[in-house]
Chain A
């Protein structure tokens, strides 16, 4: 089974130094990197698994889609999950 990720109940605001995210369920606020904000936006547009997120991100920021990117995206998703900003839906 592959975990498909979707965003929690969030409000976001982007600035050049990062993205501020407010979790409406927990009341917590986080400052994330612009890349993390981009990943959240991808998941807000459409829930996806890690490889799909990596592929879409690579297309957006002109990166080669490779194993290193897959690994970094998977780590980032785990981090966002630990912050309660995304949640998995078993596909």
Chain B
């Protein structure tokens, strides 16, 4: 899922400063799962904004609404009947959601309430960790399900480096060395021969280095 962090309250209030009628838009997908922008977080932020405005005696009207998915034009269009009743839209979705809403309602000022941070998974309740960088050329078959592109600070493909100490990365002892994890897993699976295969220089053009990416499936287009 896409993991995000809520922006500092002060920054949010600064963006909303000149506006009295606010549409606060949540998303039922990734940001709900990582507890940052679902219906619950929309209600909490709305309450905080109202409290702050009440304290400062500045009137505010907030409409709380959560879409099934903000990154989909079909769902984005579902708010068209009331979107013009509000002066500003503040989205609690990831950057993809914010952009879809902004593209759908070109005459509206759309601002983000969260900082989209990474693609990750839940490790336990309340803990999310980065697991994928979307490099466009997956090598998890060679590394037995542990991604060195993401989880190694240097993204090296033939590791570990000299900074691996006692199973931890030199950047932080709480960050496991991805290559230590890979070797442990190769040993456990009795597949150490895979470790001997030297990985060639990676072609990063499939990643962000090749510019923004687009995927098209002609058969699905209407």
The answer to whether A binds B is no
